């Protein structure tokens, strides 16, 4: 830290990150993989402002996300918030053009999201989240396509089904169980938010929270026993073959088989997701070792536009954060060695050739080469070391003697061989 600089200035806001060039290289590499995977499945990119009206998030109270908002009053007295997630913005955009957009709408984005959360490994107060969503299709085929694009991304990062598991379930499982017990509407969504905490909070505490919502002991036992089911046959015998939840999960797993991604997917009825807007398929990706927080989460949310005051449209999608996945890739040692993107370093030994060096760099840049021109007066040794440090392919040297013969010297950095060329032939 520099003397005289307040700690808050030198270290930034707690839970936020700076991206130095070496971090930015890795981030751009990861985002490149997000773009490639989305495009390989025919998704189009969109974006929205990081600032939204607070109301878009508080319409549906009760979700943890509402208590984590970075919200404030702007100078015009309006309540606004940094977005904690992209889905409400997307719903707003789709709603504004409803009826004019050809369906299915297949869009993706990589927004920065802000949540006032407890910072811990893999969780910060800002993160980037790759969002992939399909609107206008109620068929389970859309949910399967999303699992396919997610697995495509994971494979492209060098991961396999031995590293990652995608746990899937369906909100209709709990809907059926709770419906049989007479629990519906807001009470149902409230129960989902509690059940979502099952892997973070001890079972006794979960039971207490359920009791507080008015669910009796017998019903709690039934809920917890169904939440332990990890096999389709067992689920069918609990809920009946005709159960919509069982039918949708059966179709989803069959489609995953056809996509060749079945090995990545496991049925796990304890997955319900913490956001109240989900209505059908729900899923979460985790590291198999179970050491890290969720890598990705999503599902079907057919009634979100309705809660914003518009006409509902079926939708399904997921959010995939940049933090946990990087933790995992680093732990596995599979982040590639990403160099500085320089092909040629252009250097003149004598100030008399400064203009010639600029002209040569300019010409090379126009041909599409990535050129770092040495702007300061430096010695030969420095230029050699610099070319090596930035992992350039060539060092183009303008030296007085060679220049007087109309030539420049070019050093191939990996082999160390030096050759003479006419400047126009580089």
| Beta carbon nearer to ligand HAM, 115 or 411 | 115
Window 118 to 137, contacts with ligand HAM (CB under 6 A): 123-124, 127, 129, 131, 133
Q: What residues from 352 to 371 belong to the interface with ligand HAM (CB under 6 A)?
A: none
Per DSSP, helices labelled H in 275-339 are 304-307, 323-331
Of 93 and 296, which CB lies nearer to ligand HAM in the complex structure?
296
For residues 347 and 321, the answer to whether their CB atoms sit within 8 Å is: no
251 backbone dihedrals φ, ψ, rounded to 5°? -60, -45
Rounded Cα distance between 349 and 371, Å, is: 17
CB of 54 to ligand HAM, least distance (A): 17
Measured from the Cβ of residue 52, the count of other Cβ atoms closer than 10 Å reads 20
CB of 105 to ligand HAM, least distance (A): 13
Does 89 bind ligand HAM (CB under 6 A)? Our answer is no
Q: Which two tokens stand for residue 169?
A: 């379930």
104 binds ligand HAM (CB under 6 A): no
Among 43, 54, 71, 87, binds ligand HAM (CB under 6 A): 87
Tell me the H-state helices in 232-373: 232-239, 244-259, 304-307, 323-331, 354-366
Three-state DSSP at 256 gives helix
In the complex, what is the shortest distance from the CB of residue 383 to ligand HAM, in angstroms, rounded to a whole number?
A: 42
Q: Which of residues 293-312 bind ligand HAM (CB under 6 A)?
A: 294-298, 301
154 binds ligand HAM (CB under 6 A): no
| Candidate ranges 27-35, 100-108, 163-171, 319-327; the one touching ligand HAM (CB under 6 A) | 319-327
Give residue 151's Cα distance to chain centre: 13
Query: According to the binding rule CB under 6 A, does residue 280 interact with ligand HAM?
Result: no
34 binds ligand HAM (CB under 6 A): no
> Least distance (Å) from ligand HAM to the CB of residue 294?
4
Beta bridge partners of 106: 134
Residue closest to ligand HAM when measured from CB atoms: 321
Shortest Å, Cβ 394 to ligand HAM: 41
Q: Taking the mean position of all CA atoms in its chain, how far away is CA 368?
A: 31
Q: Interface with ligand HAM includes 321 (CB under 6 A)? A: yes
421 DSSP β-pair partners? 408
Q: Is 91 in the site for ligand HAM (CB under 6 A)?
A: no
Distance CA 407, CA 340 (A): 28
What Cα–Cα distance (Å) separates residue 94 from each residue in 84, 134, 144, 157, 309? 19, 11, 22, 31, 13
Cis, bond preceding 104 (omega within 30 deg of 0): yes
Which of residues 109 and 176 has its CB atom nearest to ligand HAM in the complex?
A: 109
Residues that contact ligand HAM, how many (by CB under 6 A): 24
Q: Where are the alpha helices (DSSP H) in 41-110?
A: 55-58, 64-67, 87-96
Under the rule (CB under 6 A), what is the footprint of ligand HAM?
85, 87, 115, 117, 123-124, 127, 129, 131, 133, 275, 294-298, 301, 317-321, 323-324
């Amino acid at each position: 830290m520099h003397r005289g600089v307040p700690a808050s200035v030198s270290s930034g806001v707690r839970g936020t990150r700076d991206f130095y060039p070496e971090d930015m290289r890795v981030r751009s590499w990861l985002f490149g993989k997000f773009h490639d995977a989305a495009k390989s499945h025919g998704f189009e990119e969109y974006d929205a402002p990081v600032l939204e009206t607070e109301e878009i998030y508080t319409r549906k109270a009760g979700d943890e996300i509402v208590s984590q908002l970075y919200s404030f009053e702007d100078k015009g007295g309006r309540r606004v918030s940094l977005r904690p997630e992209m889905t409400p913005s997307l719903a707003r955009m789709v709603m504004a053009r409803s009826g004019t957009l050809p369906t299915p709408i297949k869009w993706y984005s990589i927004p920065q999201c802000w949540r006032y959360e407890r910072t811990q490994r893999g969780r910060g107060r800002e993160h980037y989240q790759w969002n992939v969503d399909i609107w206008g299709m109620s068929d389970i085929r859309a949910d399967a396509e999303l699992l396919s694009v997610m697995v495509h991304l994971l494979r492209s990062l060098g991961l396999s089904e031995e590293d990652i598991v995608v746990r899937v379930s369906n909100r209709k499982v709990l809907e059926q169980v709770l419906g049989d017990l007479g629990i519906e509407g807001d009470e149902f969504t409230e129960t989902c938010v509690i059940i979502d905490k099952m892997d973070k909070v001890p079972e006794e505490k979960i039971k207490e929270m359920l009791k507080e919502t008015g669910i009796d002991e017998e019903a709690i036992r039934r809920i917890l026993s169904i939440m332990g089911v990890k096999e389709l046959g067992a689920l069918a015998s609990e809920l009946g073959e005709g159960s919509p939840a069982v039918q949708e999960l059966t179709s989803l797993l069959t489609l995953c088989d056809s996509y060749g991604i079945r090995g990545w997917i496991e049925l796990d009825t304890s997955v319900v997701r913490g956001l109240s807007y989900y209505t059908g398929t729900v899923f979460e990706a985790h590291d198999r070792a179970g050491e890290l927080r969720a890598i990705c989460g999503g599902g079907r949310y057919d009634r979100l536009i309705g809660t914003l005051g518009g006409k509902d449209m079926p939708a399904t999608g997921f959010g995939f954060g940049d933090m946990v996945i990087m933790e995992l890739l680093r732990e596995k040692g599979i982040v590639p060695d990403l160099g500085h993107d320089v092909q040629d370093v252009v250097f003149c030994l004598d100030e008399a050739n400064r203009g010639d060096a600029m002209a040569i760099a300019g010409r090379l840049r126009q041909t599409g080469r990535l050129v770092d021109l040495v702007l300061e007066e430096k010695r030969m040794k420095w230029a050699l070391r610099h070319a090596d440090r930035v992992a350039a392919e060539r060092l183009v040297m303008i030296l007085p003697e060679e220049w007087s013969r109309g030539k420049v010297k070019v050093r191939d950095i990996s082999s160390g061989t030096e050759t003479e060329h006419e400047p126009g032939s580089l």
